[in-house]
Amino acid sequence: MNLSAMLADLEELVCCELFSADHEAVARSAAVVADQGRRLLGASPESIVVDGVTHLRWSFGEPRGCCSVTTTRSGRSGPCARGRGPSAAASRGGPACST
């Protein structure tokens, strides 16, 4: 990726900067991030709406056990559910653990 393309991506993200309390703006921002991620990573994210707030989750490779990590636009991520029983992963939209 060249510098011009990186700056164009950054400009697009800055132009859609938002307040996280504005759920419609968060959804629009998530769409921009999803489009850029799809183009740069070659994979589409899963869009998850929790309490009206849009989150994106990318999955790569084969699943290994029962682990669900969700990263939001703000960079926060949920912990792995491994070892926490069936409800931990399912509560975050991930697969329920069988063990």
Q: pLDDT digits over 44-70, tens only?
A: 999 999 999 899 999 988 876 655 555
Q: Give, in degrees to the nearest 5, the angle at Cα 72 between 85 and 31.
A: 125
- Better-predicted residue by pLDDT, 56 or 20: 56
- The two tokens of residue 35 are 């489009």
**How do the domains of the chain map onto residue ranges?**
1-59, 61-99
Report pTM.
0.56
Radius of gyration of the chain, Cα coordinates, nearest whole angstrom: 15
Question: Could you report the per-residue pLDDT of 73-84, keeping only the tens digit for each?
Answer: 555 555 554 444
d(Cα 75, Cα 12) in Å, to the nearest integer?
Answer: 18
Residue 94: is its pLDDT beyond 80?
no
